Amino acid sequence: MESSTATSTGTRASDLRLPASALKARRRGIVLGHRLWAADLISALLASLIVGVILDPGAGAPAIVGFALVTAVLWSFFSFALGLHSGDRLSAWASSLNEVAPFCVGLMLLSWPVFGAATLLDLGSPAVTALSCMVLLGLIDVACRTIVRTRIHRVADLRQRTLILGSGMVAGQLVGKLRNNGQYGLVPIGVVDDDYHPIGEVDLPLLGGFSELSQLLIGRRIDRVIIAFSRASHEQLLSAIRTCRDAGVAIDVVPRLFEFLDGARALDQVGGLPLISLGPARLTRSAQVAKRTVDIAGSALALIFLSPILLAVMAAIRIESPGPVFFRQRRAGRYNEPFEVLKFRSMYADAEERKAGLEEANESSDGVMFKIRDDPRITKVGRLIRRTSIDELPQLVNVLRGDMSLVGPRPIIFREAEALEDWHLRRAELRPGLTGPWQIYGRSQSPFQEMVRFDYQYVAGWSLARDIEILIATLPAVLSGRGAY
């Protein structure tokens, strides 16, 4: 069903002049854009109908249906105008992180005509109706968009055959990321480089040099090329980019100093020369007060609304296996001050005693973390709550107490803290977070050093807007279950 939808997209006469790779990229964008539009339309209809029925059940079917149609049409228009149906960008294919700002703007713009429609149709209190509709629409639409992406990632016909230009350590990291993050729909098939360097444990063949690129794009049916670090000259890289563009192949470039570009805030120009700007990090007192205010309000509201789930999980843990409901562990907090983190117990009570016997099965190769995908110490309930990150919800109490923040660096154990290098210590300037970049980018798939780099980049480029983006992006990451075990 999925693949038939992907291949049935109409082809215009002008498209027949495009290379096959360009047609495939266009088809990917069209399929994703249509399904995101359908998700927005369905979400708006559901949210407005539910709000209309609950807040004013006596209003009558014509008024409620009219309200739903107005909301759905306007939300479809606003989301299209703000680029939320664009499926051409690689980031749009993978996640909703870059959609956070336009998504919120769209909801704010929509709230005014929805308020007017509720007033004209005399639906309860117009202000309450509009606010309730926006909140419910936001929640339903995030869930629907996540479902769309999860399903479309399984469409084999939409995956892009990807060629890596460059070799060595960075190329190896890139290939590992592509294989661990199937949501991007990129399948690495080989490496091109004149001065080849082994790319670690990644099994990927060397297909040729830069002079053979044109033939490889056609013969290997390449859809996308990613330029990683290479010793090729500036002229060679420019020629490779021209070759790819002439063939209609999409191009991505891994920039130098990529480890620090998460804090990049703008692309400036000096006399036409583009510059990526990394502003100085400013953790002012007012910013910290604002962050703590969000933490208190957010954690308190979350504990109230999630209390039924918390009670159900507590009962399930108690029924399945003997032992305490909560797992407590000392972690390194702000400025490496110790605190006791609170989690739901997801393992059998004797898990710590059994750990020594499982050292050989440890899948983490960084010498610090302990991770086993099919850990026999995890209970059935524990496997479910780990996959959905429900086991971490008791940390809302830590946030309310001031030990943690809603968003922040990963709360590490002291064994991990001892492995940090000097430049890593900056991560301790903020409280550990219930979620953070490590949660939305990789979760258990990310090695320790990469998690620390995420933390450093987050602290160095912190902003309240960035926190809100991460909070909103956490829901799709958790619902998808990627990297969690």
480 near 183, Cβ under 8 Å? yes
Domain ranges for the chain: 2-152, 159-254, 285-480
pLDDT tens sequence across 323-351: 999 999 999 888 889 999 999 999 988 87
Q: Taking residues 92-116, what's their average pLDDT?
A: 83
Higher pLDDT, 304 or 368: 304
In this predicted structure, what is the pLDDT of residue 201? 58
Most confident of 130-134, 151-155, 365-369, 472-476: 130-134
pLDDT at 42 over 90: yes
pLDDT at 6 over 50: no
pLDDT at 9 over 50: no
The band of 292, judged by pLDDT with boundaries at 50, 70 and 90, is: very high
Distance CA(331)–CA(414), nearest Å, equals 6
pLDDT at 61 over 60: yes
Measuring CA to CA, which residue among 205, 199, 150, 207 is closest to residue 176?
199
Question: Which secondary-structure segment (H or E) carries 338?
Answer: strand 338-344
Most confident of 3-12, 273-282, 358-367, 423-432: 423-432
Q: The tokens of 441 are what?
A: 């980018």
Q: What is the pTM of this model?
A: 0.62
Higher pLDDT, 266 or 122: 122
In this predicted structure, what is the pLDDT of residue 366? 55
CATH 3.40.50.620 is the classification of domain 159-254: yes
401 near 334, Cβ under 8 Å? no
Mean pLDDT of the chain: 81
Distance CA(26)–CA(29), nearest Å, equals 5
Question: In sequence order, which residues have a C-beta less than 8 Å from that of residue 70 and are 6 or more positions away?
Answer: 48, 113, 114, 117
